[in-house]
Copies of this chain bind each other. A is one copy, B any other.
């Protein structure tokens, strides 16, 4: 079992994409006979989409994200309220559950997500996430494993969250400055070695326009060369 955790630590630390992180957690879940897992990081801004890394059935996760089900998920509600781990199942919080929440649970059940155990994550920066392990029915191996490894899984949840949040490269904040969508895009392509002419072809604009956006990016970042701008871009990417 310790080789499993050792391997998880290595893989997660070295993961630079969400697929690798997902794989590292999937291996832990398999070794502990925990079926499937879902790590859900709630958006900072209400109404924005959360971020998910999961081995739940893709047909279910696609629907969940598309319909914004995190807003009517009683597991999420509970996880937001308190960082203490909890069990859930079909009768979970039945008395305080809305009709929409009940419908969500019934729909998830059709995809084999009927019961589970969730580790809420409230980090120092105010972000809230949850790591859940789910199953289609209560199995003694599943339960035994959770009890036996509860403390380790809490640590694993914390580390997974600390790494996973770096994958949400969303905003265009570079060197403390916000670039426009086009400026950011052109700078990214330049960092890939593309010339203004090539960027123009890629984005369907003139070479001159691509150059214009790169000029703007340099000016905003207060640097005199694209190379310096690219350093700032790369640094901001690795900080997230």
Complex CA distance for A230 and B192, rounded to whole angstroms: 10
Interface 9-residue window, one of A32-40, A47-55, A62-70, A148-156: A148-156
Q: Is A190 an interface residue (CB 8 A)?
A: yes
> Which positions 143-185 of chain A face chain B at CB distance < 8 Å?
149, 151-152, 154-156, 158-159, 161-163, 166
What does the 1/0 interface line of A111-146 toward B look like (CB < 8 Å)?
A: 000000000011111000000000000000000000
| Neighbouring B residues of A239 by C-beta, 8 Å | 238
Q: Is A211 an interface residue (CB 8 A)?
A: no
* Candidates B6, B149, B158; contact of A6 at CB < 8 Å: B158
Complex CA distance for A149 and B154, rounded to whole angstroms: 12
| Neighbouring B residues of A231 by C-beta, 8 Å | 191, 230, 234
Complex CA distance for A141 and B155, rounded to whole angstroms: 22
Q: Is A108 an interface residue (CB 8 A)?
A: no
Count, chain A residues at interface, CB 8 A: 44
Whether B190 pairs with A227 at a CB distance below 8 angstroms is yes
Complex CA distance for A155 and B151, rounded to whole angstroms: 10
Complex CA distance for A190 and B227, rounded to whole angstroms: 7
Min distance, Cβ A139 to any Cβ of chain B, angstroms: 22
Most buried by B among A14, A156, A159, A231: A159
What does the 1/0 interface line of A215-240 toward B look like (CB < 8 Å)?
A: 00000000111111011001100110
